[in-house]
Amino acid sequence: MLIIPAIDIYQGKCVRLFQGDFKKKTIFSTEPEKIAKQWMEAKVKRIHIVDLDGAKQGSLINSTTISKIISSVSCTIQLGGGIRTIPLAQQAFDLGAEKIIIGSAIIENINFLKQLTTHFNPKNIITSIDTIGDNIAIHGWTTKLPIKIDTLLKKIEAFGISEFVYTDVLKDGTLSSPNFNQIEMINKNTTMKMIVAGGISNTAHLKHIKNIGIHGCIIGKALYTGAIILSEAISLM
């Protein structure tokens, strides 16, 4: 299972939010590229970067900071946050991201995914599905939509997408526990590779998720607080 450390960028800084609330953020570094170098030292294969400002505004606001991060490492970068047009997707690839993460744009307009897979290799596109309770959350988790996740996954699969990120917003940044039952249920109902985020706070959680058969885990706050040591987590996988 892939262990994917997260770097969330807000106003050029590396931060973590609590349950997606921008008012409840903790700043962990004013130089995110140094964080990325630390993850590289632990021999990660992939890093997850999100432009939080971009997720709210629909643009890659922190492109300069993102460029610094990507140029400082040699692993695969998956980048998301506000990528809602073909030119923005191209900008993300031009910055050096190998994979782009698309969420709000395809949920609001599934035809955008068709456009993306026409312009770019579907293997380089990761869809992001965030939930708050029974609702899909979009626009940096600020808007909820009553869309069933299974229905959405089937639509996404039809375009040849092979990976998706699932985040339980109510678990994100809480260091509580992932919703294992929900994760297992979703994983059984799709052929895509599932990457889980939200609530992972110890290696026991990682082992449980691995046993379910999950492709990857995104870890954020647990790494920054020291609840999980990245090198140890990677060695267990």
Above 70 in pLDDT, residue 51? yes
Above 70 in pLDDT, residue 127? yes
- In terms of Cα–Cα distance, which of 190, 182, 172 is closest to 208? 182
**Arithmetic mean of pLDDT, 113-118:** 95
DSSP letter string, 139-207: TTTTEEE---HHHHHHHHHTTT--EEEEEETTTTTS-S---HHHHHHHHHT-SSEEEEESS--SHHHHH
In this predicted model, what pLDDT tens digit does every residue of 171-196 receive, in sequence order? 555 557 788 988 998 999 899 999 99
> 45 lies in which domain range?
2-236
Per the prediction, the chain carries an average pLDDT of 89
Which band of pLDDT confidence, cut at 50, 70 and 90, is reported for residue 141?
Answer: low
Q: What is the pLDDT of residue 192?
A: 96
Q: What is the pLDDT of residue 11?
A: 92
Q: What is the CATH number of the domain that holds 91?
A: 3.20.20.70
| Distance (Å, whole) CA 121 – CA 104 | 20
In this predicted model, what pLDDT tens digit does every residue of 52-102 receive, in sequence order? 988 888 889 999 999 999 999 999 999 999 899 999 999 999 999 999 999
Find all residues with CB under 8 Å of 142, minimum gap 6, and list them: 56
Name the token pair of 135.
Answer: 């609702």
Rg (CA), the chain: 16
Looking at the annotation, which residues are catalytic?
Answer: 8, 130
Which band of pLDDT confidence, cut at 50, 70 and 90, is reported for residue 140?
Answer: low
In this predicted model, what pLDDT tens digit does every residue of 192-232 receive, in sequence order? 999 999 889 999 999 999 999 999 999 998 999 999 999 99
How many domains does the chain contain in total?
A: 1
% of the chain beyond a pLDDT of 70 = 91
Above 80 in pLDDT, residue 236? yes
Let me know how long the chain is: 237
Looking up tokens 């052929």, which residue turns up?
191
